[in-house]
Amino acid sequence: QDHLVCFLPGTLALGAHHGLPADHMELARALMDTCYQMNRQMETGLSPEIVHFNLYPQSDHKDVQVKPADRHNLLRPETVESLFYLHRLTGDPKYQDWGWELLQSFNTYTRVPSGGYSSISNVRDPLNPQPRDKMESFFLGETLKYLYLLFSDDPDLLSLDAYVFNTEAHPLPIWAPP
């Protein structure tokens, strides 16, 4: 599974909130758990770009396998975006807890001495995650924005009934037809 598809739990949850079948929310929760596990099962707590599911896991193996070329983390926003939507729409605090774990992992393994953040080459090696000396702009524009909103105590801050976020996490007002 490509990390980019971790936007889907949030999209399904938003659809269920706006009248689509309730089982969309059940699927959103299950997929969110999968995206969370993609992070949790890595030694750094950060998801690689791509995982392959181990359909027949042994007791001494993880549920996912990671090929060496896919071990990097680019500080992507999709998982925290979905955590934000699921927390806002369900009120379940576990999504904030999971977001806190991700933020701690970002701070531990991707923060650089100058105060910025860097993508890393190896999420499997907490002793040497191999910083890449590159921070994509979406880390500031999306990942940190969704983390801020996830931890906000004000549910009306950019209410999901009044705003929609575009693919780059820009809030756009929902206008009623004239």
DSSP output for 115-127: S-B--BS-TT-TT
b or e along 62-89 (b: 16 or more beta carbons within 10 Å of the residue's beta carbon)? eebebeeeebbbbbbbbbbbbbbbbbbb
Pairing of β 52-53 and β 171-173: unpaired
**Nearest-10 crossing angle of helices 94-109, 144-151:** 140
Residues annotated catalytic, as ranges: 49
Alpha-carbon distance of 38 to 110, in angstroms, equals 17
**What residues are designated binding site?**
167
In whole angstroms, how far apart are CA 159 and each of 17, 45, 156, 162, 165? 13, 30, 5, 5, 10
The two structure tokens encoding residue 37: 């596990």
**What residues are designated binding site for Ca(2+)?**
167
